[in-house]
């Protein structure tokens, strides 16, 4: 049985597949969609432990989707990671202000991702999670 179930919202099928493979190696099952609009009905049908959300999406962008996720009672407590090539500290601050658990760069270090997943899936209190989740490079 997997340790968790993740939703990947990413319009690039290549990036979606790469992240899915990394997560599956960490014993996390995945489901992927190309737009935020496709994600919302799916979130009503299935339980997800984590969400990975691209910033530049067709239709609703990642920050708009993040705001909506954090406003809905059914999804507000699911940790959401922005999955992006953005690398600015300002971007990280804005993502966190909107409720993101962190920012993962598309060139993510596999070992760092595994450590972060261990922290999130171990039910560590939110304050400790915040201090532990600084994803390098660029995080």
For the domain that residue 34 is a member of, what is the CATH number? 3.40.50.2300
The predicted-structure confidence for 122-133, as pLDDT tens digits, reads as follows 764 454 444 444
Q: Is residue 137 part of a domain?
A: no
The predicted-structure confidence for 53-74, as pLDDT tens digits, reads as follows 999 999 999 999 999 999 999 9
**Mean of the per-residue pLDDT values for the chain?**
86
Q: Is residue 71 part of a domain?
A: yes
| Crossing angle between the packed helical segments 110-121 and 13-25, to the nearest 10 degrees | 60
Q: Is residue 118 part of a domain?
A: yes
Average pLDDT on 98-109 reads 86
* Statement: residue 24 has pLDDT above 80: yes
Domain that holds residue 103: 4-132
Q: Return the higher-pLDDT residue of 138 and 58.
A: 58
Q: Hey, what are 6's tokens?
A: 């993740």
* pLDDT interval class at 136 (50, 70, 90): very low
Q: Is residue 58 part of a domain?
A: yes
Listed in order, strand segments (DSSP E) in 13-49 are: 28-33
**Number of structural domains found in the chain:** 1
Q: Which pLDDT belongs to residue 123?
A: 64
* pLDDT interval class at 11 (50, 70, 90): very high
Q: Is residue 109 part of a domain?
A: yes
Residue with structure tokens 């099952």? 29
Q: Hey, what are 129's tokens?
A: 């999670």
The predicted-structure confidence for 38-58, as pLDDT tens digits, reads as follows 999 999 999 999 999 999 999
């Amino acid at each position: 049985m997997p340790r968790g179930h993740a939703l990947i919202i990413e319009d690039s099928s290549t990036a979606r597949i790469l992240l899915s493979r990394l997560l599956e190696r960490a014993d996390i099952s995945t489901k992927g969609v190309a737009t935020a609009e496709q994600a919302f009905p799916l979130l009503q049908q299935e339980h997800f432990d984590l969400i990975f959300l691209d910033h530049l999406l067709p239709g609703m962008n990642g920050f708009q989707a993040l705001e909506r996720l954090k406003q809905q009672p059914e999804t507000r407590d699911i940790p959401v990671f922005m999955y992006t090539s953005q690398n600015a500290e300002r971007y990280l601050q804005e993502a966190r202000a909107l409720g993101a658990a962190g920012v993962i760069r598309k060139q993510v270090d596999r070992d760092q991702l595994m450590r972060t997943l261990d922290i999130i899936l171990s039910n560590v209190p939110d304050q400790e999670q915040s201090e532990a989740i600084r994803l390098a490079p660029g995080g």
